[in-house]
Amino acid sequence: MILAITFSEDAIIGLVVAAIQFGTLLYLAALGETITEKAGVLNLGVEGMMAIGAVTGYIGGAASGSPWMGLLVGAICGAIISLVHALAAVGLGADQVVSGLALTILGLGLADFIGSDYTGDPRRAHFGEVDLPVLTDIPWVGETIFAATPVSYLAVALGVATWWVLSRTSLGLGIRAAGESASTADAAGHSVAAIRVGAIAAGGALAGMSGAYLTNTLLGTSWNEGVTAGRGWIAVALVIFGAWRPGRVALGAVLFGLTLALQTRLGFFDINVSGTLVSMTPYLMTVIVLVVISYRARNQPSPAPAGLGLAYRREER
Amino acid sequence: MKRLVLARRETPTRGGQPLAFLAGLVFALLLGAILLSIAGDPVIDVYKRMFERSLGSKDVISATLNRATPLALAGLAVSIAATMGLWNIGAEGQIMFGATAATFVGRVFPDLPGPILIVAMLLGAVVGGALWAAGPGLARAELGVSEIITTLMLNEVAIRLVVYLQQGPWKDPEGFSFPQIEARPDQAGLGNIWERVHLGVLIAFAVIVVFAWFSSRSVWGYELRIAGSSPKTAAYAGISMRRKVLGVMLLSGGVAGFAGGIELSGTATRLNENLSNGFGFAGIIVAALALMRPSGVALVAVAFGAVQVGGLSIQSIGVSSAVASILQALILFGAIGAGVLSNYRIQMVDRKVVA
């Protein structure tokens, strides 16, 4: 009996730790997509950018032995590949949906192509837990919330920074103006194109970082094809789930992270539900939230940026 | 101070899109060649093999046509939604659920004679695909919920549903420890009409022709185009947008589901999570390249089918089949660039003039 209780406590601690790790992964990518969408650009290329970050971050981490180097390489390569979407959707005015989906196909293809030489490579850089004085020693809380890797703290810091920039600075005002009404932003002297390209690149860097974190810490294996496994789409969903607000997106990330963590741990809790069914919940919850938002929007304005998905060309305004 | 701007041409260049597609193809092959040589792969050998193994003989041409079929139907599904300005990003999920529904029909009536069972399964597939698109269609029609995100999310749900059925309820008891769904009844397979080309290719082609004719000649198709290009005009004309939106989404989903049924009876023997191998996503690229025209969809689908079949063939010479995905995306980006250039010209103007 005592043994069973001890075991389930361990299981709960393991679940919370994993939920925070998966939440971090989802949050980085979703935060990036939030910035991009705030500037009025829908980028459905998250899955592809994450895959690029995963493979280049893996190689960077394995070659240097430093997971930080992996994170940096993943972020840079994610930003570079996102410029394809910037060029097509902002530069050439192509449809954002088509361009973003093509970026996903390109990113997944390129990642598999680059990674084909590394499948089964045993080298692997890894982020360990941060040993915080006092905090780590708090019972329960220290073992769960303060047992996170440095990337989780980085993600929180980036979330706060994003919130601050978006809501408290003139740059943030420019970004939001570009997303709400591009012609107004233009008239106010902001360069809509520059803002949007920058926002896309920021989104790419964060998605790439998320991918690098996936291969450098979350997965216990080397590079594999299809390593992102639809998690980029969850990041797209999270932006809506969190109503385009960095704080709410973070809460959603932990919640969705919990469902990802739960999938493989149901057996520890004697829950007789298929993990595959649990894995559907983030997507279904997002659909439900979208419907609820729209239902309410009959009386109050939708939280989505008004100009989301619309190309802007000055001579056609 | 001078700067470069894109200025729209008074009249778009004639025959622009086929040329843009060819330009995209050349662009993709060039960039692909650079990529292959960086990776140290033999560029000429790779391309030569891709061509020979997709278009070089009757046998491989039939593989290409089989592969093009779900791509063309998915592309048609996307273009049907696009006539009303809607994005069906969920063809992938609708294909999977269509095939799931067809499998269900096959499980319930395993002893029906072949032709009847095939028709029943294909009908099941159409209904399944339409059902999978019904939620997003209703949400869009009644509440204005973006169909882009809802259809996209349901893709992931459909794939996981198939995995679930495979692990539990529909697991083949004779599959030992390897989880797989029981094979569909043997008599539900579509026969070959030429070399390895199965009957489904002909059926799909007929569907595309009928739809192209119907949409350009019928009142329904005319109303759709009005509703898509100018909702206000449609409202004046008494066209109900809500019913049109729902109807178009159901039809689009039904066509995608049909692709799942054809795939199950044509090239696959059982339902699994890879049955729609990205056909739904590639279908969006196909439809975009065809400018949402059914006839163009069929042609682009054959080209993409060739790239995909060719891509699979280079694995045996040690080159990743991911080259096919890369080429398909690059064709699109190249064609976007070329398309813009054919409608615009680059002009050098004084900064003052623009500002």
Nearest CB to A97 within list B7, B148, B161: B148
| CATH code for the domain in which residue A190 is found | 1.10.3470
Residue B355 has pLDDT above 50, yes or no: no
Question: Which tokens sit at A64?
Answer: 């240097």
Question: Residue A244's pLDDT is what?
Answer: 94
Quickly state the pLDDT bin for B1 (edges 50, 70, 90). low
Question: Is A295 near chain B, with CB under 8 Å?
Answer: yes
Chain A positions in Cβ-Cβ contact with residue B168 (cut-off 8 Å): 274
> Is A311 inside any structural domain?
no
> Is A274 inside any structural domain?
yes
> Is B18 inside any structural domain?
no
Global pTM exceeds 0.90:
yes
**Contact assessment for residue A99 and residue A85, using Cβ atoms and an 8 Å cutoff:** yes
What domain count does chain B have?
A: 1
> Is B243 inside any structural domain?
yes
Q: Which domain holds residue A288?
A: 2-301
What domain count does chain A have?
A: 1
Task: Give the nearest chain B residue to A84 (CA atoms).
Answer: B333
Q: What is the mean pLDDT of residues B226-250?
A: 84
Quickly state the pLDDT bin for A315 (edges 50, 70, 90). low
ipTM: 0.92
Residue A311 has pLDDT above 60, yes or no: yes
Sign of CA dihedral B282, B283, B286, B291: negative
> Is B97 inside any structural domain?
yes
Question: Which tokens sit at A44?
Answer: 């459905």
* B102-135 per-position pLDDT tens digit: 999 999 999 999 999 999 999 999 999 999 999 9
Is the Cβ pair A102, B285 closer than 8 Å?
yes
Question: Is A54 near chain B, with CB under 8 Å?
Answer: no
CA distance B2 to A199: 27
Cβ neighbors of B247 (< 8 A, separation 6 or more) are none
Question: Residue B174's pLDDT is what?
Answer: 81
Question: Residue A1's pLDDT is what?
Answer: 38
CA distance B131 to B124: 10
Least confident of A181-190, A222-231, A239-248, B136-145: A222-231
What is the phi-psi region of residue B136: left when phi exceeds 0, alpha when psi lies from -120 to 50, beta otherwise?
Answer: alpha
How far are the Cα atoms of B89, B122, B273 from residue B100, in angstroms, in the given order? 19, 11, 10
Quickly state the pLDDT bin for B173 (edges 50, 70, 90). confident
Task: Name which residue leads in pLDDT, B224 or A315.
Answer: B224
Quickly state the pLDDT bin for B82 (edges 50, 70, 90). very high
Touching B: A residues 240-259, CB under 8 Å: 240
Question: Is A312 near chain B, with CB under 8 Å?
Answer: no
3-state class of A109 per DSSP?
helix
Distance from CA of A277 to the nearest CA of B (A): 7
Distance from CA of A172 to the nearest CA of B (A): 24
Question: Which tokens sit at B154?
Answer: 């349901």
Chain A positions in Cβ-Cβ contact with residue B325 (cut-off 8 Å): 105-106, 108-109, 112
> Is B299 inside any structural domain?
no
Residue in A97, A280, A281, A312 to test binding to B, most B beta-carbons within 10 Å: A280
Residue in A82, A104, A276, A298 to test binding to B, most B beta-carbons within 10 Å: A276
Chain B positions in Cβ-Cβ contact with residue A280 (cut-off 8 Å): 156-157, 160-161
Question: Residue B28's pLDDT is what?
Answer: 97
CA distance B297 to B300: 5
**Contact assessment for residue B75 and residue B283, using Cβ atoms and an 8 Å cutoff:** yes
> Is B176 inside any structural domain?
yes
Residue in A41, A47, A291 to test binding to B, most B beta-carbons within 10 Å: A291
Residues in chain A, overall count? 317
Nearest CB to B284 within list A101, A237, A295: A101
Sign of CA dihedral B308, B312, B317, B320: positive
Question: Residue B10's pLDDT is what?
Answer: 64
Q: What is the mean pLDDT of residues B77-88?
A: 93
- Angle between helix B58-82 and B43-55 (nearest 10): 90
Q: Which helix (H) or strand (E) holds B6?
A: strand B2-8
**Contact assessment for residue A112 and residue A48, using Cβ atoms and an 8 Å cutoff:** no
Residue A3 has pLDDT above 50, yes or no: no
Is the Cβ pair A113, B329 closer than 8 Å?
no
> Is A140 inside any structural domain?
yes
* B270-327 per-position pLDDT tens digit: 999 999 989 999 999 999 999 998 889 999 999 999 999 999 999 999 999 999 999 9
Q: What is the mean pLDDT of residues A150-177?
A: 96
> Is A308 inside any structural domain?
no
Question: Is A84 near chain B, with CB under 8 Å?
Answer: yes
Residue A25 has pLDDT above 90, yes or no: yes
Task: Name which residue leads in pLDDT, B222 or A194.
Answer: A194
Residue A135 has pLDDT above 80, yes or no: no
Task: Name which residue leads in pLDDT, B215 or B71.
Answer: B71
Question: Is A233 near chain B, with CB under 8 Å?
Answer: yes
Question: Residue B7's pLDDT is what?
Answer: 72
> Is A251 inside any structural domain?
yes
How far are the Cα atoms of A203, A315, B92 from residue A40, in angstroms, in the given order? 12, 18, 26
Mean of all residue pLDDT scores within chain B: 91
* A179-236 per-position pLDDT tens digit: 999 999 999 889 999 999 999 999 999 999 999 999 988 876 667 888 888 899 999 9
Cβ neighbors of A142 (< 8 A, separation 6 or more) are A135, A136
- Angle between helix A96-115 and B279-289 (nearest 10): 130
Chain A positions in Cβ-Cβ contact with residue B328 (cut-off 8 Å): 105, 109
Nearest CB to A105 within list B146, B159, B325: B325
> Is A306 inside any structural domain?
no
Q: Which domain holds residue B137?
A: 70-280
Chains A–B, number of C-beta pairs less than 8 Å apart? 129
CA distance B92 to B253: 10
CA distance B37 to B209: 42
Q: What is the mean pLDDT of residues B35-43?
A: 95
Whole-number percent of chain B with pLDDT over 70 = 95
Touching B: A residues 60-79, CB under 8 Å: none
Is the Cβ pair B8, A92 closer than 8 Å?
no
